[in-house]
Amino acid sequence: MNRNELKERTKKFALKVIKYVEELPRIKTLDVLGKQLLRSATFYRCKLSRCMSCTISFTFCFKD
């Protein structure tokens, strides 16, 4: 898998999660869980974009 494929897959995943969370019923508990799910799903995409734009190696960015 090359970088463009990875970017596209993470984008599609984030969009699917956003649509899923929007369809959840508006209950306080699900609102909290939905917000956490959104943060988790979109964080990876954000981190990926940041790592691809920096000058250090791609694999180094994901060694947390």
For the chain, how far is it from start to end, CA to CA, in angstroms? Answer: 21
Question: In the chain, what percentage of residues exceed pLDDT 70?
Answer: 67
pLDDT at 51 over 60: yes
Q: For residues 25 and 60, what is the distance between their CA atoms, to the nearest angstrom?
A: 40
State the average pLDDT for the chain.
80
Question: In the chain, what percentage of residues exceed pLDDT 90?
Answer: 38
4-7 CB contacts, 8 Å cutoff, 24+ apart: 6/48, 7/48, 7/49, 7/52
Q: What is the pTM of this model?
A: 0.66
pLDDT at 48 over 90: no
pLDDT at position 11 is 87
